[in-house]
Amino acid sequence: MRIYKLIFSVWCLIFLTSPVIGKDKQTIYRQGWIDFNKNGVKDIFEDPANTVEARVADLLSQMTMEEKTCQMATLYGFSRVLEDELPTEAWKDRVWKDGIANIDEHLNTIANRPYTYTEHAYPYSNHAEAINVIQKWFIEETRMGIPVDFSNEGVHGLCHKKATPLPAPIGIGSTWNKELVYQAGQIVGREAKALGYTNIYAPILDLARDPRWGRVVECYSEDPFLIGALGTQMAKGIQSQGVASTIKHFAVYSIPKGARDGEARTDPHVAPREMHQLHLYPFKKVIAEANPMGVMSSYNDYDGVPITGSYYFLTQLLRQQYGFRGYVVSDSDAVEYLNEKHQVAPDYKDAVRQVVEAGLNVRTRFRTPESYIEPLRELIREGRLSMQTIDARVGEVLAVKFRLGLFDQPYVEDCELANKIVHTDADEQFSRQIIRESMVLLKNENNVLPLDIKKFKNVLVAGPMADEVNYTFSRYGPSFNEAVSVYKGIKNYGAGQLNVSYAKGCEVIDESWPESELMDVALTTDEQAGIDAAVEQARQSDIVIAVLGENESMVGESKTRTNLGLPGRQLQLLKALHATGKPVVLVLVNGRALTINWEDKYIPAILEAWFPGASSGDIVAETLFGDYNPGGKLPVTFPKSVGQIPLNFPFKVASHAGQVEIPGNGYGKTRVLGSLYPFGYGLSYTSFEYSDLVVTPDQAYSQADIQVSFKVKNTGQREGDEIVQLYLKDEVSSVTTYESQLRGFERVHLLPGETKTVHFVLHPDDLALLDKDMNWTVEPGSFKVLIGSSSENIKLTGGFVIRRY
């Protein structure tokens, strides 16, 4: 590595002084400003003392059409589109000789994709130095010297080699911990800044309304209020470090018809009121409270109109109503889909015209930027796109670059600092804590958990996910961190006290899958042998810890499922282990809600771990054996059957009700009702008591705040976390509303016997609905306040009245 560093340093020296670069450009760096356009004069846009608006206007006035259009496309980084790790002489013949809006995922290294591996990713200083070299090329070798915005993914930790790992977003949502999520955002932002990235594509604000959908694992919740609260903190945390947060996917992206993804990605069946009150709510809230600098537009349509080609969505809603002040990038293929999939454009070039006029700033796709910029220039020359429109789109991109300080300090100032502040020991401890808080205890019959290490000698850890770690490196997060499987974690935890053995038992999916999602398929000889071997080991053990679920190849983008049971032969394995008579504990490693009915009925203890991150095995072990008391709550509803879908929270009044029993005309008992585990559900190794609810005032006008307070006490023998939840019910309204809506939550840590008072404030927006005319309003009438430990386990009730004027 030292030799590599020496070679790289020499290369940089040669590069920066070679004829490729041309004459010495050091004279452009002046005291307190940079002469980007190299004219020897401090222009308005080069003067940090001027406003962003003035600097943008001045810069636009000096740019050619070619330079402006280059600020409207993404250049995907090394090995995706960009063939070079560092600048070459050939760059002078590419379209980015006139600049580029952003370079995405450059030199970051993506797990399990060897073509992305590069020595410039790690040590961290290598990457900072490489980004400086590239930034230097754009500043010194393009006419206007406009700096590049370096973007990257970061939905569960920065998508970079050995960055700090976080749980998958569904696990982050299970923490219900706003302060923790803000700290997570700070870490992502700090690491990005140190490595040279200036724009992070996170958080995801999509609603996980259909568990069949593959990207549920990347969503915080099915509930808009929980997503909005956590998304606000993540965006604020990222931007507190001086980098942009780009929220995604705008809009109504997560509910394609039948949850079909892949080549479908269209036709969300969502009514207008539901769209605004559920799917758009998190975007509106995060934009208002966190002021993110980026939005990614989705590639689906809404009611026949592609989002990325919609002036209503990208301009009227996003900018005029929500007040968004950043720039919009397209999700991959979103532009092309107007012609290829949605067929609302006769050809690709007209699709380009439509998206620009709608409000798209930057096309982002795994294709060369020329593929977008060239037809864009043709449209301008043909008079089909006005320069006024182009100036508006480019001006919004430039404004973000000014706000990020790229025209004042475009380089990483201290590259070596990255080695000291990226994935520190403190960051690793934080990573472990957020994984701890993501654990959800689903069942604990007769207090099987926590396990007493003194009562067991021989422990079998069984199942296809027991010694697997691929989920710790799933897409859009860090790679190459040292990962600990659940088996290894339990083995390490019990060293010297437990004899821990392992049996895989079966694969995650069987040979006939996905046919086995539809029907029973006979076990093969090898499959039966694998289960038999695990059973034999179980008979020699005192307890079995079965680790089952889904792996990285089954969860994520374009990985929608038809069924929600444990895939493959895992249920047969679990039944066979249970039949031995040995106590069985089930640990789920998965990315979506599952229909685990048999498991819930017969297995006494179930721990939901989701996709928890690199140290997952250690955390699961300490949770099972009681060093940590799980306190997470479900951010999604677990249905009993796929046939119940959609089954989620919030839901309209009576929409989840049973069927009427009419003697002589059927009995109504033809359908499974209710959830397996409701939204907000989660158990603990201790118990909690709620008391003393106070709601003030009990009558108020529509613009008043309502104060809510109550007490919660730990009545058990262990310290633990209780996630208290406030739900609000509008008792009579002009339009049908939801049975109740989440409007407050707090994660409270309590010692045994300790009592704390919790305070919530209900603001007018928390009471608002869309009336018959689709106007947001707070209607007079009675509201019920419900305090509980889940959406169904309500402990305290109160209320207030909104008076007429």
Bridge partner residues of 722 (DSSP): 748
Residues forming the active site:
331
Q: Which of 243, 428, 257, 255 is nearest to 326 (CA)?
A: 243
Assess contact for 309 and 254: CB atoms under 8 A: no
Residues with Cβ within 8 Å of 611's Cβ and at least 6 positions away in sequence, in order, are 156, 167, 168, 170, 171, 217, 471, 472, 474, 552, 555, 589, 590, 591
Give the number of other CB atoms < 10 A from CB of residue 144: 20
Assess contact for 689 and 715: CB atoms under 8 A: yes
Q: By CB neighbour count within 10 A (0-12 exposed, 13-18 middle, 19+ buried), where does 731 fall?
A: exposed
Q: How far is residue 149's CA from residue 661's CA, in Å, rounded to a whole number? A: 63
Q: How far is residue 330's CA from residue 314's CA, in Å, rounded to a whole number? A: 11
Tokens encoding 111: 């797990």
DSSP assignment of 514-567: TGGGTS--PPPHHHHHHHHHHHHHHHTSSEEEEEEE--GGGSSTT---S--SPP
Assess contact for 545 and 461: CB atoms under 8 A: yes
DSSP, collapsed to helix, strand or coil, labels residue 768 as: coil
Assess contact for 488 and 622: CB atoms under 8 A: no
Q: How far is residue 69's CA from residue 63's CA, in Å, rounded to a whole number? A: 10
The total number of residues shown for the chain amounts to 805
Distances (CA, A) of 702 to 143, 284, 699, 729, 771: 57, 21, 10, 15, 15
DSSP assignment of 334-353: HHHHHHHTS--SSSHHHHHH
What single DSSP character describes residue 165? P
Residues with Cβ within 8 Å of 128's Cβ and at least 6 positions away in sequence, in order, are 194, 195, 196, 412, 415, 418
Bond into 272 cis (ω within 30): no
Degrees to nearest 5, angle at CA 703 with 701 and 706: 75
267: left (phi over 0), alpha (psi -120 to 50) or beta: left
